[in-house]
Amino acid sequence: MRSLDDCRLYGFVDTAYLDGRDPSWLAEQLCAGGADLVQVRAKGGSEAEVRELVRKVLPVTKAAGVWFVLNDHWELGCELGVPCVHLGQEDFFDAGYRSVGDLPAKGHRPAVGLSSHAPEQFRRAEEAGADYVAVGPVFPTGTKPGRAAVTLDYVRWAAANARKPWFAIGGITTSNLGEVLDAGARRICVVSAILRAPDVRMAAEEFSRRCAAAG
């Protein structure tokens, strides 16, 4: 796997966007298209469903040398030996944790990504020892209904002040990607603009290529 510093495109196998497709096939398309990380996200899914998703997707990312990220399920991620778990503010700070070292783990301890929606949350995530921080939602997005967009101003702040790797997320499309890159982002998360594209691999390739060209 690449170091997080060198990663550019963060893709998703999100159950809300499967549309009957095989999760392992989607993961293959994302990896082939240049995704450096693939997150499995199953909001509202049972533990059994999440386990099955990990069983299908983790071997694909391993074979491709791509980061596997599990959304929300810290203890399951430890048990299944996943490389990384992503947690939201409500799953980490609101749950009483102040450092990633506070998260309970027996044996395997995944890397940790944390969400942030404002500079003070970003600073707190860095101080907590997050391996990377997500910055967003940059634009309004259906994956975060009711969450106000943080706008490109927060992206510019992160570009100027971040000490840890960070990924811009939320409503990023091929149409507004140039604005996000011009604001200083060099790592992006993309959900619907790839998963709802006619050709998933080709869409991932375009995002990956444009991010790489930005330097």
Q: What's the pLDDT tens digit per position in 119-153?
A: 999 999 999 999 999 999 999 876 666 678 899 99
Decide: 87 and 116 in contact? Cβ < 8 Å: no
Residues 82, 60 contacting (CB under 8 angstroms):
no
| pLDDT per residue as tens digits for the range 73-126 | 999 999 999 999 999 999 999 999 999 999 999 889 999 999 999 999 999 999
Specify whether the backbone of 49 is left (phi greater than 0), alpha (psi in -120 to 50) or beta: alpha
User: Quick check: is 164 catalytic?
Assistant: no
pLDDT at 141: 75
pLDDT attached to residue 144: 65
Four-CA torsion 149, 10, 44, 98, nearest 10 degrees: -70
What single-letter amino acid sits at 7? C
Is pLDDT at 215 greater than 90 in this prediction?
no
49-77 per-position pLDDT tens digit: 999 999 999 999 999 999 999 999 999 99
| Domains of the chain, start order | 4-213 (3.20.20.70)
147 is catalytic: no
Residue 18, pLDDT > 90, answer yes
Counting beta carbons within 10 angstroms of the beta carbon of residue 29, is it exposed (0 to 12), middle (13 to 18) or buried (19 or more)?
A: buried
Catalytic member of 8, 116, 124, 144: 144
Residue 62 catalytic? no
Mean pLDDT value across residues 184-191: 98
**Strands 132-135 and 188-189, bridge-based pairing:** unpaired
Round to whole Å and give the CA distance between 134 and 66. 18
- What pLDDT was estimated at residue 89? 93
Dihedral sign (CA 29, 31, 36, 39): positive
Provide the whole-model pTM. 0.96
Q: Which of 8, 41, 164, 187 is catalytic?
A: 41
Neighbours of 33 (CB within 10 A): 22
Which residue among the candidates 8, 115, 186, 187 is catalytic per the annotation? 115
Angle among Cα 93, 99, 104 to the nearest 5 degrees reads 90
Tokens representing 71 are 């959304």
How many residues appear in the chain? 215
For position 106, what pLDDT does the model report? 85
Contact 71, 39 (CB under 8 A): yes
